Amino acid sequence: MTLLRQGFGGQAPRPPFLASWLIARAVSDRRREELLGDLEELLQIQYLEQGRRKARRWYWRQAANAVVDAIRERRRQPKPPAGDSLMQTIIQDLRYAFRSLKANPGFATVAVLMLALGIGANSTIFSWVNSVLLDPMPGSARTKELVQFTYLYKGDVMPSFSYPDYQDISRAAKTVTGITGWDDLSVGVIVDRDAERAWAEIVTTNFFDVTGAEVPLGRGFSAQEEVAGAPPTVVLSHAYWQRRFNRDPNVIGRQVKINSHPFTIVGVSAEGFHGAVSGLSYDLFLPMGTQPTVMPGGSRLDVRGSRWLSLVGRLAPGATREQARAELDATIAIMRTTWAGQKRYIDFQAAVFPLDNSPDGGISVLRPVLLILMAVGGVVLLITCANLAGLLLARASVRQREIAIRLSMGAGRWRIVQQLLIEGTVLAVLGSVAALVALQWTSGLLIGFAPPSELPIHLDVAVDARVLWFTAAVAIGTVLLFALAPAAQAAPADVATTLRDVGAAGRVFSRHRLRRTLVAAQVALSISLLVGAGLCIRSLSAAAKMTPGFQAEGVVVGWLDLFSAGYTSDEGRAFYARALDRVRALPGVEAVTLSRRIPLGFMGGSFSDVTIEGHTPSDDDPQGVGLNSVGPDYATTMKIPIVKGRDLSTSDVTKQPLVALITETMARIYWKDGDAVGGRFMFGGPRPDQAPQWITVVGVVKDIKQRSLNERPQPVAMIPILQFYASSAVLQVRTTAGVDTMAGPMQRAMREIDPQVPFYNVSRLADHTKAATFQQKLAGDLLVVFGVLALALAGIGSYGVLSYLVGMRRREIGIRLAVGATQGDVFRLIAGSGARLIGAGVIAGLLLSLGVGFGLESLLIGITPMDPITYAGVIGALTVVAAAACLLPARRAASVDPVTTLREE
């Protein structure tokens, strides 16, 4: 205990939430607080002696013991005398429910499993929504007040601002208490001579004030650090402090090297704060004044044309998002007037988003998928309910005589309904418990959603009170859905008839209208899920066929960072040339090149205004062309077909004439007949103080997709990296050998040239370009799983209802056969009623599917929401299942022996 009082370095572990919740529910009020306190105190000791994992396990054991003890204790209490108070009848009904479930273990297991599945799917999806959408910036204060500012350009969101934009906008803003801006970058960090890569956010110095993220150790940034030339400082994230500095409290004031420059550590941010972008976790925070030091390309702080900052503001008390937008619009209008001479901000408007609908970061990728999943979860739950309602109805009709007897002996109708509802509740509670147990594991599956990327992805899902409440609400809703209808039906209006007639065919039909409707509803819902799944799968295969314009298969890539190694542009060019020579000589290499960025990756692209020699600018011209710096043999290595002219070569270097490869679309827009080879263009416009830097087009290549497979063909210019130097690049190697064979030799080759240069993330290009179809893949996978599940449930449901109907109509069938119907007639009768049932479901389902298709439209690639092949496929699959569900009962009906059946009753 003394150890405890002295305190210890690590943070005290919190008791597992679910376990202490269980204890709190089980134990009487009198002892609750003391028991939880004792457990928490002993947990600290367990943690110190045994470590976190064993301590948690110990706590769970204690919780189990407490629950068992509490149950024993309650049994020991004297039982209250039997009576008719509501509480007592409920207890009676509970006991009765458990007994009747024990008597039908098969039914109980199926029902609980179905509920666990339905509720579990919804809880899991909600736990994801909870941590991604409901908590978009963990660790910030009053996140609901935070809004993201963006430009709108001709209706398209452009999320980035220049630093001068930021200054103008934040100076003019009155509807917000503060605006902060940031960008992220990968840096090289050296601590005590150990070099590594880290992800940093470069932020305006009010970053911690605006977000409300705390800096418990040391300090945040001061206004002086906003200015270039201030002594460079850095704030560590808690996770990085823990990983790299072992939670050393004396870290403040230490020096580290970031991109070869000395920085002083001034603070450590709070645990649980990972930076401003949802789904990503940053290691370092750098103040704005260090931008010229840590980023290539010189200072951007006074460059109005360079848009690179994301902006988030905190709404002032009482201000609305709409007011903030109107204010930003007004500011942009002023900026437009001020810079009219340079034609800036033409057609720019303002947009302001809540953080949970941010147009960039993890949310923009996950939000559509999560919303679809929520809908899918709801549908699966509805199917589960429909199925269970069917099961309960079947049981209710079996128990009809029992119920009628109870009614005739004076039981109130409500009493019967209450008892059936309690049976449903017991099932739902058991299902929810199973779902919650599974949730501990399934909630973590969100990380499987992480796209392939070199970004520091962080998707941590906490199962908190909100998730538990949601699960409880879903369980209650479920009970109402699946138990109420059968309960209402089970209390028959006419006791006498029921007692006499149970089992006769007379009442069967009206009763089964509900069951038929339920089956048709299941069929309809599962069709809509399957159509959704089919559309995603078709999109994927359409995307696979859709050539992005280059061949990603067979290319191995690796990232080079010359900037953090302190290279000048001349040294960098020499390095690139040597690197290309070395790799080209490796065995198995067909071609090698470099590029500033890879197409279809998650990292966006860059754009530039161009002036074309001999082309009169018109309003139809695009807002700039896409830009990539690439190495020699780029088109050859990427297998991009050359339409005209030549590929870039090793002789396109400095001091030689500036050249470029352009895409067909760019050629078509700016040159008559697309005949661009030999034509010249320049970036930006001519400047009076210098001679025009004309770039000559030496080759035209087929169009390549830049950001998504859906995009229209883009004008893109590719310029030689050996002429237009970029301090970081991706080495791209076309090889017959795989990534495993190539990674070693490539890394050795780079190390031999200069061991100081970071060469990392060696991987297959195809893995990165998959990012382009990531959403479709994710949505498709999940919809297939749920769709097949739903189809199976619907199949079982239809089979159940039909075979039940056959059972009920045995007598009728017997009579029909006795008076001369053939087996074929009976078969057709039953199969026909099944087909009508399913047919109704199919029609409803197809109508529903149209809605689903248009809901998914934004995700579809290369097909329409009414893709005929998808619909045909789904109907085909359904026919097979439906046929199986109808034929078996129909065959059984046809084989009824009229003599035995008629003798039975």
Q: Which is nearer to other proteins, 28 or 822 (CB)?
A: 28
- Which residues neighbour 297 within 8 Å (Cβ) at sequence distance 6 or greater? 727
> How many angstroms separate the CA atoms of 18 and 464, rounded?
9
187 near 561, Cβ under 8 Å?
Answer: no
Which of these segments, 67-75, 381-389, 484-492, 840-848, binds other proteins (CB under 8 A)? 67-75
The reply to whether 24 sits near other proteins by the rule CB under 8 A is no
Q: Which is nearer to other proteins, 39 or 801 (CB)?
A: 39
Q: Which is nearer to other proteins, 12 or 141 (CB)?
A: 12
Q: Which is nearer to other proteins, 38 or 248 (CB)?
A: 38
- Binding residue for other proteins, selected from 1, 87, 465, 493, defined by CB under 8 A: 1
Which of these segments, 65-73, 313-321, 504-512, 614-622, binds other proteins (CB under 8 A)? 65-73
Q: How far is the CB of 575 from other proteins (least distance, A)?
A: 57
Q: How far is the CB of 77 from other proteins (least distance, A)?
A: 12
Q: How far is the CB of 803 from other proteins (least distance, A)?
A: 50
Question: 189-198, long-range: CB within 8 Å, 24+ apart, which pairs?
Answer: 189/256, 189/257, 189/258, 189/283, 189/284, 190/256, 190/257, 190/258, 190/260, 191/244, 191/245, 191/256, 191/257, 195/756, 195/758, 197/561, 197/758, 197/760, 198/240, 198/283, 198/284
Q: How far is the CB of 71 from other proteins (least distance, A)?
A: 11
Which of these segments, 37-45, 146-154, 390-398, 845-853, binds other proteins (CB under 8 A)? 37-45
> How many angstroms separate the CA atoms of 641 and 550, rounded?
8
Q: How far is the CB of 1 from other proteins (least distance, A)?
A: 7
Could you tell me where the DSSP H helices lie in 356-412?
Answer: 362-398, 400-408
Q: Which is nearer to other proteins, 31 or 401 (CB)?
A: 31
719 near 566, Cβ under 8 Å?
Answer: no
Tokens 């990012």 locate to 771
- Binding residue for other proteins, selected from 10, 11, 12, 581, defined by CB under 8 A: 12
The reply to whether 55 sits near other proteins by the rule CB under 8 A is no
Which of these segments, 35-43, 155-163, 174-182, 278-286, binds other proteins (CB under 8 A)? 35-43
Under DSSP, the state recorded for 56 is: H
| Residue 408-427 contact track with other proteins, rule CB under 8 A, x = bound | --------------------
Q: How far is the CB of 81 from other proteins (least distance, A)?
A: 23
Tokens 């089992």 locate to 503
Which of these segments, 36-44, 94-102, 593-601, 689-697, binds other proteins (CB under 8 A)? 36-44
Q: How far is the CB of 64 from other proteins (least distance, A)?
A: 9
The reply to whether 45 sits near other proteins by the rule CB under 8 A is yes
- Binding residue for other proteins, selected from 4, 71, 447, 476, defined by CB under 8 A: 4
Give me the residues paired with residue 287 across strands: 203
Instruction: Count the neighbouring beta carbons within 10 Å of the beta carbon of residue 85.
Output: 10
Q: Which is nearer to other proteins, 65 or 900 (CB)?
A: 65
| Residue 737-756 contact track with other proteins, rule CB under 8 A, x = bound | --------------------
Report the SS3 class of residue 607.
strand
Q: Which is nearer to other proteins, 70 or 542 (CB)?
A: 70
The reply to whether 37 sits near other proteins by the rule CB under 8 A is yes
534 near 860, Cβ under 8 Å?
Answer: no
> How many angstroms separate the CA atoms of 72 and 70, rounded?
5
- Binding residue for other proteins, selected from 47, 62, 426, 842, defined by CB under 8 A: 62
Could you tell me where the DSSP H helices lie in 15-104?
Answer: 17-26, 29-50, 52-76, 86-103
> How many angstroms separate the CA atoms of 72 and 69, rounded?
5
The reply to whether 34 sits near other proteins by the rule CB under 8 A is yes
Q: How far is the CB of 439 from other proteins (least distance, A)?
A: 24
Which of these segments, 4-12, 283-291, 300-308, 667-675, binds other proteins (CB under 8 A)? 4-12
> How many angstroms separate the CA atoms of 652 and 675, rounded?
21
Report the SS3 class of residue 733.
strand
Kindly state the tokens that stand for 293: 């030091």
Kindly state the tokens that stand for 155: 């209706």
- Which residues neighbour 788 within 8 Å (Cβ) at sequence distance 6 or greater? 530
Helix (H) or strand (E) holding 630: strand 625-630
The reply to whether 49 sits near other proteins by the rule CB under 8 A is no
> How many angstroms separate the CA atoms of 198 and 511, rounded?
67
- Binding residue for other proteins, selected from 19, 27, 187, 746, defined by CB under 8 A: 27
SS3 assignment for 448-510: HHCCCCCCCECCCCCCCHHHHHHHHHHHHHHHHHHHHHHHHHHCCCCHHHHHHHCCCCCCHHH
Q: Which is nearer to other proteins, 36 or 450 (CB)?
A: 36
- Binding residue for other proteins, selected from 61, 174, 343, 500, defined by CB under 8 A: 61
Q: Which is nearer to other proteins, 27 or 392 (CB)?
A: 27
- Binding residue for other proteins, selected from 49, 50, 69, 371, defined by CB under 8 A: 69
Q: How far is the CB of 49 from other proteins (least distance, A)?
A: 11
Q: Which is nearer to other proteins, 45 or 190 (CB)?
A: 45
128 near 394, Cβ under 8 Å?
Answer: no
Q: Which is nearer to other proteins, 73 or 494 (CB)?
A: 73
Which of these segments, 39-47, 160-168, 217-225, 897-905, binds other proteins (CB under 8 A)? 39-47
Q: How far is the CB of 52 from other proteins (least distance, A)?
A: 16
Direct distance between the N- and C-terminal alpha carbons of the chain, in angstroms, rounded to an integer: 78
Q: How far is the CB of 10 from other proteins (least distance, A)?
A: 14
- Binding residue for other proteins, selected from 10, 11, 38, 792, defined by CB under 8 A: 38
Q: Which is nearer to other proteins, 48 or 546 (CB)?
A: 48
Nearest residue to 468 via CA among 7, 3, 14, 18: 18
- Binding residue for other proteins, selected from 25, 41, 693, 880, defined by CB under 8 A: 41
Q: Which is nearer to other proteins, 30 or 102 (CB)?
A: 30
Report the SS3 class of residue 837.
helix
Q: Which is nearer to other proteins, 23 or 583 (CB)?
A: 23
**Binding-residue total with other proteins (CB under 8 A):** 28
Nearest residue to 138 via CA among 211, 74, 191, 196: 211
The reply to whether 464 sits near other proteins by the rule CB under 8 A is no
CA atoms lying within 13 Å on the CB side of residue 548 = 24
The reply to whether 65 sits near other proteins by the rule CB under 8 A is yes
> How many angstroms separate the CA atoms of 65 and 385, rounded?
35
| DSSP assignment of 747-780 | HHHHHHH-TTS-EEEEEEHHHHHGGGGHHHHHHH
Q: How far is the CB of 247 from other proteins (least distance, A)?
A: 20
> How many angstroms separate the CA atoms of 861 and 850, rounded?
17
Q: How far is the CB of 31 from other proteins (least distance, A)?
A: 6
Q: How far is the CB of 105 from other proteins (least distance, A)?
A: 31
The reply to whether 31 sits near other proteins by the rule CB under 8 A is yes
Rounded alpha-carbon distances, angstroms, from residue 190 to 45, 187, 248, 258, 729: 37, 10, 17, 6, 21
Q: Which is nearer to other proteins, 15 or 889 (CB)?
A: 15
Report the SS3 class of residue 262.
strand
Q: Which is nearer to other proteins, 34 or 248 (CB)?
A: 34
Residues that bind other proteins (CB under 8 A): 1, 4-5, 12, 15, 23, 27, 30-31, 33-42, 44-45, 61-62, 65-66, 69-70, 73
